[in-house]
Amino acid sequence: MTRWDAEAAVVGLGSWGASALWRLAARGVDVLGFDQSAVGRDADSRQPGSTMFRLSRSEHPGLVALARRSRELWAELEDAARTRLFVPSGGLVVGPQDGPTAGGALRTARDHDIDVRTFSARALRFQYPRHTGVPDHHIGVWEPSAGLLRPEAALHAAVGAARTAGARVFEYTRITAIDLVPGGVVLRSAQRDVRVRRVAVTAGPWLSRLVPEVPLETYRAPVTWFRPLEADAGFAPEEFPVFVREFDDGRVLHGSGAEGDQDIRLSLEDRGVAKPTDPDDVDPAVLYEDWSGLAKLLPAKVPGLHPLPARTAASRTTRTPGAPFVLDSPAGDPRLVVAGGSGTRGLQHSTGIGDALADLLLGAGTGAGAVPDAAAIGGLR
C-alpha cells in the first residue's frame, strides 16, 4: 500500500501558489508547499502598494466575477493576517474611447453594473494635470472601487495564514519532475521524493518545464521609479492616483503616485516588442533599454519628474497565447492542476485564483462561482 506524505501539494509559492496553499489549508486539507527559494524572494520587484486592483477588466467577460470573488478574499486574508493589504484609493484608466483599455473598461462597467465616472480629455487634463498630452479622442474612466494592492505583503500574509491553518512549507526545495502514479503524484527533488494524492503547479516561468504541455513564454519585465523635480509637485496618490494609460501607438503606461517619501513607480508595456527569454537567464542588471524609452515619454506625457530614474528593477513574467492565463487540469486528470501565464496583471486575482485552484484540486465548489469562471477563462482544452 502506498504511503502518502500529504493529501495535496502546491509547487511554486508566488502570489497564486501562496493563495492556493492558504485556501487549501483553510479547508482543512493536509497540504505541503514547495518553493525553490525563500518565500517572496522571487516576487515581482515592486515597492509596496504598487499593484492596481480594479473590477473593470475587459480581456475576458469572466474576469469581473473572478475579480469580485478576489476582492472578498482579500478582505478575508486581511482579517486572517491582521494587516492591511488593499487600499481603496480608486483608480484611473485612460486611452482612446474605442480602444481596449479605457474603452474596454467603460464597456465592461456598463455590462456588469460597475460604478465608474467618465472624463472627457479636457476634463481629464484639468482634474489630473500631471497627465499631459492627452488627445481629444481619449477618455478617462475613474473606478471608485479600484485601489492599490500590496503584493509582497499579500504573499507573506497568505503563506502565514496557510501555516497557521496547518500547511507545511519547504523553502529552497526545487521540484525537478512530477510523475503521475496510481492514486497520486510523485514530486522529485534533490532532497527526496514526495508522494501526494494531488498537486497544484504554480511555478511561474518554470511551469512549462514541469508540465511541458502548458504553453507559456517568459519575458523580462522592467519596472522603474522616478523622483519628482520638486516637493509637492502633484504626485501624491490623491492627485496622481494608480492608473493605466494607453497611447495611440498601443503602448500602455502603468503607474501610481508616491506614498509618503516613496518615488513614482512607472512601467511601460510595449505590446508585441518584448522577446521571450529563458527564465534562468533573466539579467537582473539595469539596462539602458529598460528605462530609456519610458524616460523619453515623460516630458510630454508625465512632466515634473527627473529624466533619470531613481532606481530600476527587472523581474520575470509569463504570458500564454489566446487567454488571459492558464488554469486547468491537463488532459482532465484530477491529480494535477496548473496555473500561470497572467503576466504582471494577474496579481490582483491571486486570492480568487487560489480559491479556484483549491476547488479544481478537490473537485468541489465554493458556491461563489469562482471555479466555472476561472476554468472557462484559462482552460487548456
Q: Coil, strand, or helix at residue 31?
A: strand
Average pLDDT score over residue span 323-351:
85
CATH number assigned to the domain comprising residue 16: 3.50.50.60
Domain hosting 207: range is 6-43+152-215+322-378
Report the CATH number that the domain containing residue 273 is assigned in CATH: 3.30.9.10
Quick: pLDDT tens for 286-310: 788 888 889 999 999 999 999 999 9
Residues 303 and 329 both lie in one domain: no
Residue 129 counted as domain residue: yes
pTM: 0.90
Per the structure, the count of domains in the chain is 2
Q: What are the pLDDT digits (tens) for 21-67?
A: 999 999 999 999 999 988 865 554 334 447 899 999 887 778 899 99
Q: What is the mean pLDDT of the chain?
A: 87
> With 70 as the cut, is the pLDDT of residue 110 above it?
yes
Residue reference for cell 487549501: 24
Residues 164 and 228: their CA atoms lie apart, in Å, by 42
Environment class of residue 182 by beta-carbon count within 10 Å: exposed (0-12), middle (13-18) or buried (19+)? Answer: exposed
Q: How confident is the model at residue 166 (pLDDT cuts 50, 70, 90)?
A: very high
Which of 131-135, 232-236, 292-296, 308-312 shows the lowest per-residue confidence on average (mean pLDDT)?
232-236
pLDDT > 90: percent of the chain? 59
Q: Are 108 and 64 in contact (CB under 8 A)?
A: yes
Q: Which helix (H) or strand (E) holds 294?
A: helix 288-301
Q: What is the Cα Rg of the chain in Å?
A: 21
Answer yes or no: do 222 and 281 share one domain. Answer: yes
pLDDT grade, residue 68 (50/70/90)? Answer: very high
Same domain, 254 and 308: yes
Could you tell me if residue 1 is inside a domain? no
CB atoms closer than 10 angstroms to residue 213: 9
Whether 271 has a pLDDT exceeding 90, the answer reads no
Bridge partner residues of 315 (DSSP) = 221
**Are 293 and 362 found together in one domain?**
no
Give the helix/strand (H/E) hosting 268: strand 264-269
370 has a pLDDT exceeding 80: no
- Indicate whether 145 and 176 sit together in one domain: no
Cβ distance 239 to 128 under 8 Å? yes
The mean pLDDT of 191-204, rounded to a whole number, is 94
